[in-house]
Structure 1
Amino acid sequence: MSETFVDLGVVTAPSGVLVLGMAGWIDQWSELGDPLSVRAMAAARHGGGHLHEPVDGPSRDWSCEAVAVPVAADRPLEVRAETGESYDGPVVTVLEVDLGLSWPGAPDGGPIRLGDLPVDRCGMVLGDARALDSFVGLSGRSIDGLADVRYWGKYEEDAHAHFGGERTRQYGGQGPYGRLDLPLAEADELAGRLQSWLTGGPRSGLVVSVDAHTHFHLLERAGLTHPLLAGQIEIDGCQVLGLGWDPGDHSMRHHGERARGQVYAVTLEQRGTTTLLRWTIPSEAEEAE
């Protein structure tokens, strides 16, 4: 299988600690105990580690998981991915971050294993430990009082003629019709009018979504035009990267997550005198071997 490296941009971590975590759970840590930053800082003091629940036992299925590592606090950290082809297109096979720090192991030493992570169906987040304490997740409040309305399906053209809107952008073509960045009340009112229009006639097969501007949604939106669903936003002055996951690839290869042993190694590795964080997700061909 041919493989390609893709530059995904940079993240910043002025706290000196970087977290790679499951996007669907980032806002849940403080509900289970210490905030994410407290756990991450403690792990980083020991060179990095795997964060999970419960803290004193094996990782619980379908719960919070992340990896935290010390990084250079005074510079952008470059992120790139090695990719391969999967069911619906390109997917990440290696996520790699230059930590901006000297190699902590023996000269010419092998990888240092930090733990393993499943591929979250909601995607992954890479960002500063303290900034991610502020992360507003999937069902949270709008951070700016705005929301996006989208609609698609059998009667989308008829709905567009009645309610307007523009095609939203996504990688490989046009996305659903929608109106973005509406005040919450206006977004809810538009969605209500769309629903009333649907029930006012023999219409079915039109889906209407209202997405508040949570950090989760804005990261997802930022990644829609990228082949790897990678997007960036700013949280508390820090550049944070979100990485969505191809639904077909997740369904066929990662759907069981930790409960089915679908977890993948996170390591520290040496490049010259520099330290890399690497999360390795074998391609389908490599798994078969």
Structure 2
Amino acid sequence: MSEIFVDLGSVTAPSGVLVLGMAGWIDYWRELGQTLSERARTTAASGGGHLREWLCEAVAVPAAVDRPLTARASTSPSPFDEEPTIATLEIGLGLPWPETSDRSMPVSLGDLPVDRCGMAIGDASALDAWTGMNSEPDNGLADVTFWGRYADDAHARFGGERIGRYGYDGPHGWLDLPVGEAASLAAEVTVWRGGLQGKGVAVSLDKHTDFYRFRRAGWHHPLHVGSIEVGGCQVLGIDWDQGDHSIRHRGERDADQVYPVTLEADEAGQTVMRWTIPPYDFNGEDA
């Protein structure tokens, strides 16, 4: 049976180099002596391949500079809740398959783990500007959310809107506040009822870094996929479901939970990058 794919959106790669990488570590590449774009450019020049240093991992490939590059995915049921999860991620690179290469033979680029913090797909040079979870936001804004035993009491006391997610109501809170105002409000709610999940009200202060913005952009998508602009380019992020990650991908590279990335020719003779995650075997073993 052929796979059924759903469109996830598109990215742009004006530098001619596309990266699929672990979102939780994108901003660490530059701390390790060489930027992601420098590493990716060298790797893409030889046809593409895997990048790894310390906990940072990515795959870099050449891509068309003059058009949007479409991403799509097939799905399989999660062992956590049987909701759809990504089984095959495919990104069209906008380039013809080389005439000298056998179209029936995929080209291995290595493998990648599923980052608990999500995955990013985007232009290598644009991702050099990525602001990680501990960075300051470019727009000076932040969100505050709260939940827990006394969440309804907190809502009655402080207000806040219900911030929905795909498939459930989500916590209460406030979006798009100046960072200083958000920090003061989060502190006030925390002091009011203990600030510990299960013992009061748990409070989260989330600054608008690129890391947070891509996760927020995927709140209403069944596969937790969101599109944001980074460095003037369109970037896609996949915020993996935490329950699915804990059952299928926990341990990541150290536990050999890694999945192959290949270059392949599609039906039209165009080059695509594919990341293939085998479906879970509900009879007791992973496929």
**Normalising by structure 2, what TM-score?**
0.93
1:92 matched to 2:86? The reply is yes
Instruction: Summarize the alignment of residues 9-48 of structure 1 with structure 2, pairs less than 5 Å apart.
Output: 9-48=9-48
Identity %: 58
2:133 is aligned, of 130, 135, 138, to 138
Pair 1:251 & 2:246 matched: yes
Say whether residues 1:164 and 2:159 are aligned partners. Answer: yes
CA contact (8 A) 1:4 1:84 kept: no
Distance 2:281 2:87 in 1: 11
SS of 2:177's equivalent in the other structure is strand
Q: Which runs of 4+ in 1 moved over 2 A?
A: 1-4, 285-289
| Equivalent residue runs for 1:246-285 within 5 Å | 246-271=241-266, 272-285=268-281
Query: Is the Cα–Cα contact under 8 Å of residues 149 and 187 in structure 1 kept in the other structure?
Result: yes
2:29 aligned counterpart, secondary structure: helix
Match of 2:59 in 1: 67
Q: Which runs of 5+ in 2 are unaligned?
A: none
After TM superposition, give the deviation of residue 108 of structure 1 in Å: 2.8
Shift of 1:204: 2.4
Native 8 Å contact 2:103 2:264 kept in 1: no
Structure 2 partner of 1:129: 124
DSSP 3-state at the match of 1:24: helix
Map Cα deviations across residues 115-141 of structure 1 (whole Å, 9 max, x no partner). Answer: 100000000000000000000011111
What is residue 149 of structure 2 aligned with on the other side?
Answer: 154
Task: Supply the distance in 2 between the matched residues of 1:94 and 1:189 (Cα, whole angstroms).
Answer: 43
CA distance in 2, matches of 1:106, 1:49: 17
Query: What is the number of residues matched between the two proteins?
Result: 279
CA contact (8 A) 2:194 2:201 kept: no
Structure 2 SS opposite 1:255 = coil
The amino acid that maps onto 1:281 is I
**Equivalent residue, structure 2, for 1:57:** none
- Quick check: 2:189–2:201 contact (8 Å CA) kept in 1? no
The TM-score normalised by the length of structure 1 is: 0.93
One-letter amino acid of the structure 2 residue matched with residue 217 of structure 1: Y
- Does structure 1 residue 194 correspond to structure 2 residue 211? no
CA RMSD of aligned residues (A): 1.8
The partner residue of 1:77 within 69, 77, 89 is 69
* Aligned match for 2:97, one of 94, 99, 103: 103
